[in-house]
Amino acid sequence: MGITSAIMIISGIGIIAAVMLVLAAKFMHVEEDERIGRVTECLPGANCGACGYAGCADYAKAIVEADTPLNLCVPGGAAAAEGAAKVMGKVAGATAAKVAVVACQGFECNTSKKFDYQGITTCSAAAKMFNGPTACAYGCMGFGDCVAACKFDAIQVVNGVALVNQEKCTGCGACAKACPKAIIHMIPDDVNPVVLCQNVDKGAQTRKVCSTGCIGCMKCTKFCPTNAIKVENNLAYIDQELCIGCMQCADECPVKAIHIPNIRKQY
């Protein structure tokens, strides 16, 4: 009799709790704007965070509820923006296409190792050990953190350096966030040259660790017709907004540190 009573009491409590949960769900339910789901369907579902939000669903919610710009989804490009604009009854606006570029040419034929690394095979772990095993402290370590972060199979490590397949790259920026050396840059998808080096040491020191590292000689600045190149802290930088793609800088660079990513060696 005691066991039966206990079972009945527990069952009763369970039923009352269930009823309370149902009533709470009914009276506390907040209706979600159906446009959020429709906008989410227009997005690629990569959840890469390139738009500045945690994922596609969060970005869609921001579009509907916070009047966020419609053209922040780089992987989705114009198609995603236009789809969201149709749902919202607005004008999409232009989407700036970007691609990832690995600013390093530290291939096995151009540089060397300063020690034999035997630790965890990730760039983030190796970087904590004397800035990594590569002779150049600023170069790609080639353990593939960026490869693991890319959801579009747009990066592979070739001869010790990560290379981006421009045709597959969606410009999401996940690889750039994953790189502990910050040598992956997101640039406009234009046919313009970039400096594929991050070494800020003086030229003589750079030459000791990499045969294709920028030595800060400033020859590129002298031949640029639009003053798009500056050398700061021993390293050349190209202003992509000023660059006209004439390639005079690349032709004059004595170490061949300047290339156009779209026509550069791809895997």
CATH topology of domain 98-263: Alpha-Beta Plaits (3.30.70)
Same fold, 34-88 and 98-263: no
* Residue-range domain boundaries for the chain: 34-88, 98-263
Burial class (CB in 10 A: 0-12, 13-18, 19+), 74: buried
* 113-121, Cβ contacts within 8 angstroms, sequence gap of 24 or more: none
Provide the b/e sequence for 13-47 (b: ≥16 CB within 10 Å).
Answer: eeeeeeeeeeeeeeeeeeeeeebbebbbebbbebb
pLDDT by 10s per residue, the chain, length 267: 567 777 777 877 888 888 788 777 666 655 678 899 999 999 988 888 888 888 899 999 999 999 899 888 888 888 999 999 999 999 887 777 788 999 999 998 999 999 999 999 999 999 999 999 999 999 999 999 999 999 889 999 999 999 999 888 988 889 999 999 999 999 887 778 999 999 999 999 999 999 999 999 999 999 999 999 999 999 999 998 899 999 999 999 999 999 987 544 444
* Structure-derived torsion over alpha carbons of residues 239, 244, 248, 254, reported in degrees to the nearest 10: 30
Q: So what's the architecture of 34-88 in CATH?
A: Orthogonal Bundle (1.10)
Residue 210: strand, helix, or coil: strand
Q: What is the pTM of this model?
A: 0.75
Query: Helices (DSSP H) in the chain: which residue ranges?
Result: 2-27, 34-42, 56-66, 77-88, 123-126, 145-149, 174-178, 203-209, 219-223, 248-252
User: Amino acid identity of 174?
Assistant: A
**173 near 232, Cβ under 8 Å?**
no
The Cα 62–Cα 58 span in angstroms is 6
